[in-house]
Chain A
Amino acid sequence: MDDAEGGSVNVGAMSSGFSGLMRSPLHGRHVELGAKTGEFGGWEMPLEYAGGGVLKEHAAVRERVGVFDVSHLGKATASGPGAAEFVNGCLAGDLEKITPGQAQYTLCCDESGGVVDDLIVYLRGPDEVFFMPNAANTAEVVSRLTERTPEGVRILSQHGDFGVLAVQGPRSDETLEAVGLPVGHDYMAFADAAFDGATVAVCRTGYTGERGYELVVPSEKAVALWDAVLRAGEPYGILPCGLGARDTLRTEMGYPLHGQDLSLDITPVQARMGWAVGWRKPRFWGREALLAEREAGPARRLWGLRADGRRMPRPGMTVLGGDDGPVGAVTSGTFSPTLRIGLGLALLDSTVEVGQRVSIDVRGRREAFEVAKPPFVPSHVR
């Protein structure tokens, strides 16, 4: 977020003033709810809401239910004869492991194995695949796919056509049931449903570690759906949640964020995301480089950092080993509202092991951390 270098900012200098940014179809609702907003990949999105705040919104998702506007996420479709086969030859995940009606977490790599984006793909059928890339990377993913499409396959960017709501938390099933949407399908499966005369895709996905759903809704129906979800969730204590809480929730799970924990310079092998790669596939972008790196062993790996106290690491800070020599760098860091301690993710030399004690100079004070294997709190996605 806004303090990536770990430096200090005066509280008086934080007032926002955005221009030229894209806005969600729910922007008016966020203003009414007193949201503080921030810039995410060219979009002005809510960070937290008045009367809520990161800690309360985080707790709502862990204990009850919360709804996030994640309409900044990209949307695109590959369609035409053999569209799924084409995509399977490009992205790293193995689409043959899923069937129509299922979604998959996958990676778009470049030829060196670096990650252009991590994204969710929805397999609709052999001739149609829907993509949900990160906001800032959508144009690049669409462009790379478009350059290589075979005859008959078409890539359509639909970034502004849909809103996306994430309904997350142990009471998300009851909430969506009250809205009249289908619930209870398997983790990573999706179902189309009618809502207010439109079709909404209801997918068992999320970025919080809790049971939940992401709803892809035509933009013109996004406000009606948002209102319906908030009304339906009221008996369960639902809160509108901003992207501030989304970041603390995903960090507690150790989920990587592209641009911090994954990037063109950080491969899936280094990020320990090899589980998302279809290693047996004959081809996908970056295959040779990634196979070679996996064979040789990566020079560095992404691990978790668990602070002894409340002090949190910040991206870019140097991690020091037992002899005080540098052993890596922090890529993500936050305060864990669940554990009440600082947490982070860091790229560490491959010699560093889980359980090892390391330290970080946090603005002049040495803080102690333990290298850990995330998640830091138990996952309840299934």
Chain B
Amino acid sequence: MIPEDLKYTAEHEWVRTPGESEASVRIGITDYAQDQLGDIVYLQLPDEGSEVEAGSSIGELESTKSVSELYAPIQGTVVKTNAAAEQSPEVINSDPYGAGWLIEIRPSDPPAVDGLLDAATYRSQVESG
């Protein structure tokens, strides 16, 4: 499941424009990522207000079998985090594009989002393994 209206990264994250917070984008992990990780049991997110660089590690997701880092898809300020997902990380498995979102970032350069992968490109990346 790869929704057409989202942007993607090679690290299996999605970016939705706009986010709920003002001038923000919403970020989560893809259905493929949650399936590969298995049941997610621990989630660590960055603090609200923190400045993040594109490509930097800003948190982690842990399943019983492995740990995966969360990367910032773009540069900006973390304006909101999903406290419900931190409390109950299983929502990331059950609804990765909806209630299982992770953070909202206010991009320092909004057009940078356009440079991320579109659904077709991400799909071909997943299919080629």
Complex-state Cα separation, A15 to B12, whole angstroms: 13
Interface centre among A15, A54, A337 (most CB of B within 10 A): A54
Measured CB to CB, the nearest residue on chain A to B86 is A310
User: Are B64 and A9 within 8 A (Cβ)?
Assistant: no
User: Are B39 and A55 within 8 A (Cβ)?
Assistant: yes
User: Are B67 and A14 within 8 A (Cβ)?
Assistant: no
- Chain B residues near A233 (CB-CB < 8 A): none
User: Are B65 and A10 within 8 A (Cβ)?
Assistant: no
User: Are B11 and A334 within 8 A (Cβ)?
Assistant: no
Q: Identify which of B17-25, B29-37, B46-54, B111-119 touches chain A.
A: B29-37
Complex-state Cα separation, A365 to B59, whole angstroms: 12
- Chain A residues near B93 (CB-CB < 8 A): 53
In the assembled complex, the CB of B64 is this many whole angstroms from the nearest CB of chain A, namely 5
User: Are A12 and B65 within 8 A (Cβ)?
Assistant: no
Among B42, B62, B64, B66, point to the contact of A14 (Cβ < 8 A).
B66
User: Are A11 and B62 within 8 A (Cβ)?
Assistant: no
Complex-state Cα separation, A244 to B66, whole angstroms: 11
Q: Given A11-B29, A12-B12, A15-B129, A3 and B39 touching (CB < 8 A)?
A: no
| Chain B interface SS verdict (over half) | mixed
User: Are A11 and B37 within 8 A (Cβ)?
Assistant: yes
User: Are A363 and B60 within 8 A (Cβ)?
Assistant: yes
User: Are B41 and A11 within 8 A (Cβ)?
Assistant: no
Q: Quick check: is B110 within 8 A (CB to CB) of the other chain?
A: no
User: Are B67 and A8 within 8 A (Cβ)?
Assistant: yes
Q: How large is the interface on A (under 10, 10 to 19, 20 to 34, 35 or more residues)?
A: 20 to 34
- Chain B residues near A213 (CB-CB < 8 A): none
Complex-state Cα separation, A293 to B63, whole angstroms: 38
User: Are A53 and B39 within 8 A (Cβ)?
Assistant: yes
In the assembled complex, the CB of B52 is this many whole angstroms from the nearest CB of chain A, namely 16
User: Are A2 and B65 within 8 A (Cβ)?
Assistant: yes
- Chain B residues near A312 (CB-CB < 8 A): 41-42, 62, 64
Complex-state Cα separation, A311 to B64, whole angstroms: 10
Among B12, B66, B90, point to the contact of A9 (Cβ < 8 A).
B66
Q: Quick check: is B68 within 8 A (CB to CB) of the other chain?
A: yes
Would you give the 0/1 interface string for B70-95, flagging 1 where the beta carbon is closer than 8 Å to chain A? 00000000000000000001100100
Complex-state Cα separation, A311 to B43, whole angstroms: 9
Q: Given A55-B90, A244-B64, A334-B64, A10 and B38 touching (CB < 8 A)?
A: no
- Chain B residues near A15 (CB-CB < 8 A): 36, 129
Measured CB to CB, the nearest residue on chain A to B13 is A11
Among B11, B39, B66, B129, point to the contact of A2 (Cβ < 8 A).
B66
User: Are A248 and B64 within 8 A (Cβ)?
Assistant: yes
- Chain B residues near A48 (CB-CB < 8 A): 38
- Chain B residues near A3 (CB-CB < 8 A): 65-67
User: Are B64 and A10 within 8 A (Cβ)?
Assistant: no
In the assembled complex, the CB of B121 is this many whole angstroms from the nearest CB of chain A, namely 14
In the assembled complex, the CB of A381 is this many whole angstroms from the nearest CB of chain B, namely 22
Complex-state Cα separation, A248 to B12, whole angstroms: 27
User: Are A7 and B67 within 8 A (Cβ)?
Assistant: yes
In the assembled complex, the CB of B54 is this many whole angstroms from the nearest CB of chain A, namely 16
- Chain B residues near A47 (CB-CB < 8 A): 38, 65
Complex-state Cα separation, A14 to B129, whole angstroms: 10
Q: Given A247-B64, A335-B64, A11 and B38 touching (CB < 8 A)?
A: no
User: Are A12 and B29 within 8 A (Cβ)?
Assistant: no
Q: Quick check: is B10 within 8 A (CB to CB) of the other chain?
A: yes
In the assembled complex, the CB of A208 is this many whole angstroms from the nearest CB of chain B, namely 15
* Chain B residues proximal to chain A, CB less than 8 Å: 10-12, 29, 33, 36-39, 41-42, 44, 57, 60-69, 89-90, 93, 129
Instruction: Report the 10 A-B pairs with minimum CB-CB distance, sorted nearest first.
Output: A335-B41, A11-B68, A55-B39, A310-B42, A11-B33, A53-B39, A3-B66, A11-B36, A54-B64, A54-B39
